Structure 1
Amino acid sequence: MTPYLTSLRAIVLREALRFVHQRERFIAALVRPLVWLLVFAAGFRAALGISIIPPYQTYITYETYIVPGLCGMILLFNGMQSSLSLVYDREMGSMKLLLTSPLPRWWLLLCKLLGSTAISILQAYAFLAIAAGFGVVAPPWGYLAVLPALTLAGVMLGALGLLLSSFIKQLENFAGVMNFVIFPMFFLSSALYPLWKMAESSELLYTICAVNPFTHAVELIRFALYGEVNLPALGWTLLAAAIFSACAIWGYDPARGQIGRRR
């Protein structure tokens, strides 16, 4: 197991060092959700009153409702940006050095995924701390209970980014596809409004939101923040993480995937 642990340590450390040297990335990761929390929520508060829905036991403010969704936003954007670095590494040639390691390719990709997920979790906790400073506070035990939910959601969204990076050849193309994936996933979910409100306007949009993997990741985080487990969300998030991971490993397999066909 020593070579496996050594590679895990090296790849995670490389991700951490890259993140430390890109302070703008950390600031940008916090600015996006804070704009929604402090600016957009003020305008939507009157239009979107939130009734008593699980896991909440009473009426809540709109700011309280969107905090789990904004944590999901951080995980989503960071998962895509981490995969963007894979496309950059491929163009620069350093990707070949990683993938020619004698270790299994699936393990190397898993190490990359775990490294990016760890960074996403740190960013999510930083946002939760700032939100608490503005009065949006979860139960104390919820901040610990949400850790597994953030980890699973981060792995699922990071695996989606890995899958996209295996099919996209150029850096410029990935940036465009990334926006095409991020914004529909975010807005067609329960991150900003409950699904029952979407059902009141359109059954079709409600169905799309209900099958969106990001919706289940957000609901998993939402319930975990209040010390509860949403079993359907847990099951669907696990399933999506497994499918995205398997497809990403297939895509990076030189014998069958897209990487192999480009060489």
Structure 2
Amino acid sequence: MSLAAHGHCLRGIVGRELLRFVHQRSRFVAALVRPLVWLFVFAAGFRMALGVAMTEPYQTYILYEVYIVPGLVGMIQLFNGMQSSLSMVYDREMGSMRVLLVSPFPRWYLLLCKLLAGTLVSILQVYVFLAIAYLYGVQAPAMGYVLMLPALIVTGFLVGALGMLLSSLVRQLENFAGIMNFVIFPMFFLSSALYPLWRLREGSELVHWIAVLNPFTHAVEMIRFAMYVRFNVEATLIVLATTMVLLALAILAYNPAKGMMARKGGPGGGD
């Protein structure tokens, strides 16, 4: 297959995902409402719990919002990655996944295109959220919004590959919705998205070590450092390595000869 044909395939898959996102306006609203509620309500409650009066200097009570915004960015990507994988289960039940995977393009390339499409959608959501947070007063250095883009791409692939792997293990749409909640909430709350690791360690040594072993923690730290024009080498290497492993497992799982699709009767979900 020529390079132009591969490019046409990529445009088709990405365009389909973007059109689906545009037509599902409730999905876009939900993606923004969730982190905004945490930013406006949870952070305000946290300030009250700290006993920080609203009469204090603005910089004093905005510190927690500055800290959790990268964590909420990770939340957007985490939920979107699972949502994109949910659409894969739906496509498999409807049969459109079979049409995609029997095309002459390599299966790994098709899955990568699907991951890239979901990642681009999540990045669009992230920057809209960051624009609202900026108007609210949570502002990072201008260069930080540029430098965090590679971190967002890697994180999008991380959560997307995880969701894709899970989608290969589930046959019915209803079952995947339950698994999503079982995965999303532990990954988010047992991470440094809302509290720094040292604070978690003060509360529970066990929770601290679970957060350290959670790859989402390192994805959030990678985004957080990049947003404030710094580079976390350790977090980046961990996220890249985890992404490669999950991606390899997802591609293997969708291999009709070796993976879960072989044991489920192919991408259409039949026996």
TM-score by length of 2: 0.92
1:31-82 Cα shifts (integer Å, max 9, x gaps): 0000000001111124469xxxxxxxx9961111100000000000000000
**Alpha-carbon displacement from aligned partner over 1:141-197 (angstroms, at most 9, x marks no partner):** 111111111111111111111111011110000000000000000000000001101
The code of the aligned residue for 1:69 comes to: G
AA aligned opposite 1:105: R
- 8 Å Cα contact 1:139-1:226 kept in structure 2: yes
Aligned residues of 2:148 and 2:226 also touching (Cα < 8 A): yes
Deviations, residues 115-160 of structure 1 (Å, cap 9, x unaligned): 0000100100000000011100001111111111111111111111
Q: Would you say the 8 A contact 2:47–2:61 is kept in 1?
A: no
1:54-73 matched pairs, under 5 angstroms? 61-73=63-75
Cα displacement (A) at 1:201: 1.5
Q: Does 1:37 align with 2:45?
A: no
Unaligned runs of 5+ in 2: 52-59, 266-271
Q: 1:135 aligns with which of 137, 144, 151?
A: 137
**What secondary structure is seen at the aligned counterpart in 1 of 2:230?**
coil
Deviations 1:7-37 (CA, angstroms, capped at 9, x unpaired):
1110000001101111111100000000000
> What is the identity, as a one-letter code, of the residue corresponding to 2:226?
A
Post-superposition offset of 1:218: 0.3
Letter in 2 for 1:183: F
Deviation at 1:239, TM superposition (A): 0.8
Match of 2:100 in 1: 98
Distance 1:237 1:204 in 2: 22
Q: Residues of 2 paired with 1:135 and 1:76: CA distance? A: 24
Q: 1:188 to 1:217 in 2, by over 3 A?
A: same
* 3-state SS in 1 of match to 2:142: coil
1:55 corresponds to which residue? none
2: CA distance, partners of 1:168 / 1:250: 15
Contact 1:139–1:225, Cα closer than 8 Å, also in 2: yes
AA matched with 2:68:
I
* 1:222 alignment partner in structure 2: 224
User: Which residue is 1:4 aligned to?
Assistant: 6
Specify the code of the residue in structure 1 equivalent to 2:122: S
What is the CA–CA distance in structure 1 between the aligned matches of 2:50 and 2:108, rounded to whole Å?
44
Partner Cα separation in structure 2 for residue 48 and residue 216 of structure 1: 27
* Residue among 234, 237, 240 paired with 2:236: 234
1:190 aligns to what? 192
Larger Rg: 2
Deviates more, 1:146-155 or 1:177-186: 146-155
Residue type of the alignment partner of 2:183: V
- The one-letter code matched in structure 2 to 1:249 is I
Residue 245 of structure 1 corresponds to which residue in structure 2? 247
1:178 — aligned with what?
180
- Which of the numbers 73, 88, 91 marks the counterpart of 1:89? 91
* Conserved 8 A contact 1:45-1:61: no
Aligned to 1:52: none
SS of residue paired to 2:258:
coil
User: Structure 2 vs 1, CA of residues 130 and 220 (structure 1 numbering), >3 Å: closer, same or farther?
Assistant: same
Letter in 2 for 1:262: K
Matched residue SS, 1:45:
helix
Structure 1: runs of 5 or more not aligned: 50-57
1:262 matched to 2:242: no
Question: Could you state the TM-score of these two structures normalised by the residue count of structure 1?
Answer: 0.95
- Find the partner of 1:113 among 108, 112, 115: 115
Query: Is the Cα–Cα contact under 8 Å of residues 48 and 62 in structure 1 kept in the other structure?
Result: no
**Percent of aligned pairs with the same amino acid:** 65
